[in-house]
Amino acid sequence: MDLIENLKAMNEVLWVNPDYEPFEKIYPHLEIKKEDVIEAKERFERFEPFIKKAFNLDSGIIESKIDEIDDYKRWYENEIGEKIQGKILLKRDDLLPIAGSIKGRGGVYEVLKIAENLAIQQGILNREDDYSILLEERFKDFFNQFTIQVGSTGNLGLSIGMISSRLGFSVIVHMSKDAKQWKKDMLRANGVKVIEYEDDYSKAVEMGRMESEKDPNSYFIDDENSKDLFLGYAVGGLNVKEQLEDMGIEPDETHPLVVFLPCGVGGGPGGVLYGLKLAYKDIVHCYFAEPTHSPSMLLGLATKKHNEISVFDIGLDNRTCADGLAVGRPSGFVGKFIENMIHGCFTVSDEKLFYYLKGLYSSENIFIEPSSLAGFNGISFTKDLYSGKSPYYIMWATGGSLVPEIERVKLLK
């Protein structure tokens, strides 16, 4: 069966990118440079005193740890009845402050940038200031004249809502039907206006964009096209190098860094991929993971139609319990940016997400949300590509720490 037939049949598939190019060759042609990612990293740093105080944290650094999950590895080896060469690492973006998901990178970053630009233009903030002054009432009054809007399946809305409301902005989140009730409740409890649609993610984004255009004081966070979101995510990829060095891990040809990233519209995994590429060039191999019901990025890349094709066009329904990945049409901006950098994409069935959840929970006592487990199919899928090598596998856990106890119990069941 050819690829599209397999996607239509909702079979799990691996697509290996035939257009991969060495990083050095494509870098000169890219419109986003390493300096841009470093500038984003520095902006995060300026905001550390604010984040620390505003969210009552031990540190204002928006970063997550990397765990080695040996017990999971043993569980999985036992399940599949064979040894896995290499180490398995879990990147804990489920624990990121503010949003409890990878959206704490991109979503938070874009709002910080808007706030900083507005305050500097107004002459009430300097880059050299201690940014915790942003908690003063006069800043809230100032930011309150502006509205931030976003369309989301849940987590992006949560991240934008939490950071924007803390700064004092008015916030409107346009939620797709996939969004979980607890996410809407949490936002409303924080003074965020939530508008619900009986439609999917693309519609929520479209409505948000339209509403925002009506108001000159409104900023729309455009998940499908935003370079700032992308930069916020890219910082996470770049930071991995230092973290792994601290763990004594230095990937090379025989020990490549193989990273599995759950993908929705593409901004999160795309940005992280780019940061990783800047740090590791061709030693890092990135694969995106999507539900069999919503393989939008795979479809866009494989057909080269990017945002001009959706999973509905091949008869799929975009219905999945991986709510964070329920996106039918990928970002055209991200797809085109990464088309020669990504190693491949694969799909995962909803049932498998729960299988991996059980495995991770029983072996490591770690709970992450279903979307976050999509990458766990990667090891078996790419096995033949790495025979004779001993990779460092990174499963990028993209969300989960804010899931309420009662929802956890349901999911684990």
Ligand X SMILES: *Cc1c(COP(=O)(O)O)cnc(C)c1O
Output the smallest distance, CB 372 to ligand X, in A.
Answer: 5
For residue 159, state whether it binds ligand X (rule: CB under 6 A): no
CA distance 320 to 309: 19
Residue of 247, 252, 246 whose CA lies nearest to 285: 252
Residues 85-124 touching ligand X, rule: CB under 6 A, are 101-103
The site for ligand X, by CB under 6 A, has a size of 20
For residue 155, state whether it binds ligand X (rule: CB under 6 A): yes
For residue 300, state whether it binds ligand X (rule: CB under 6 A): no
User: Tokens in use for 145?
Assistant: 């004249």
- Amino acid identity of residue 188, one-letter, is R
Mention every residue, 6+ apart, whose C-beta is less than 8 A from residue 170: 144, 146, 147, 148, 193
For residue 262, state whether it binds ligand X (rule: CB under 6 A): yes
For residue 63, state whether it binds ligand X (rule: CB under 6 A): no
For residue 187, state whether it binds ligand X (rule: CB under 6 A): no
Output the smallest distance, CB 36 to ligand X, in A.
Answer: 18
Output the smallest distance, CB 325 to ligand X, in A.
Answer: 6
For residue 268, state whether it binds ligand X (rule: CB under 6 A): yes
- 63 versus 178: smaller Cβ distance to ligand X: 178
- 208 versus 264: smaller Cβ distance to ligand X: 264
For residue 291, state whether it binds ligand X (rule: CB under 6 A): no
**Per-residue binding letters, 379-408, with ligand X (x by CB under 6 A):** -------------------xx---------
Among 212, 307, 347, 371, binds ligand X (CB under 6 A): 371
CA distance 82 to 80: 6
Output the smallest distance, CB 287 to ligand X, in A.
Answer: 13
DSSP 223: T
Instruction: Single out the segment in contact with ligand X by CB under 6 A; choices: 31-39, 209-217, 266-274, 343-351.
Output: 266-274
Output the smallest distance, CB 357 to ligand X, in A.
Answer: 13
For residue 179, state whether it binds ligand X (rule: CB under 6 A): no
For residue 166, state whether it binds ligand X (rule: CB under 6 A): no
- The separation between CA 132 and the C-alpha centre of its own chain, rounded to angstroms, equals 27
Q: Supply φ then ψ for residue 287, to 5 degrees.
A: -125, 140
Residue of 360, 378, 397 whose CA lies nearest to 236: 397
Give the CB-nearest residue to ligand X: 264
Mention every residue, 6+ apart, whose C-beta is less than 8 A from residue 185: none
DSSP of 41-105: HHHHHHTHHHHHHHTT-S-------EEE-HHHHHHHHHHHTS---SEEEEEEGGG-TTTSBTHHH
Instruction: Single out the segment in contact with ligand X by CB under 6 A; choices: 11-19, 133-141, 364-372, 403-411.
Output: 364-372
Among 296, 320, 372, 382, binds ligand X (CB under 6 A): 372
Among 161, 236, 266, 291, binds ligand X (CB under 6 A): 266
Residues 24-43 touching ligand X, rule: CB under 6 A, are none
CA distance 74 to 79: 9
For residue 265, state whether it binds ligand X (rule: CB under 6 A): yes
Q: Supply φ then ψ for residue 407, to 5 degrees.
A: -70, -35
Q: Are strands 14-16 and 344-348 parallel, antiparallel or unpaired?
A: antiparallel
Output the smallest distance, CB 168 to ligand X, in A.
Answer: 25
DSSP 283: G
DSSP of 355-385: HHHHHHHHHH-----GGGGGGGGHHHHTGGG
Output the smallest distance, CB 324 to ligand X, in A.
Answer: 3
For residue 301, state whether it binds ligand X (rule: CB under 6 A): no
Instruction: Single out the segment in contact with ligand X by CB under 6 A; choices: 143-151, 175-183, 262-270, 403-411.
Output: 262-270
Instruction: Single out the segment in contact with ligand X by CB under 6 A; choices: 21-29, 111-119, 140-148, 320-328.
Output: 320-328
Residue of 301, 295, 383 whose CA lies nearest to 346: 295
For residue 344, state whether it binds ligand X (rule: CB under 6 A): no
Residue of 29, 22, 37, 28 whose CA lies nearest to 281: 22
Edge-to-edge, what's the strand order for the sheet holding 147-152? 193-196, 170-175, 147-152, 218-221
- 221 versus 257: smaller Cβ distance to ligand X: 221
Tokens 């990233």, located at residue: 261
Residue ranges that bind ligand X, judged by CB under 6 A: 101-103, 155, 262-269, 324-325, 327, 369, 371-372, 398-399
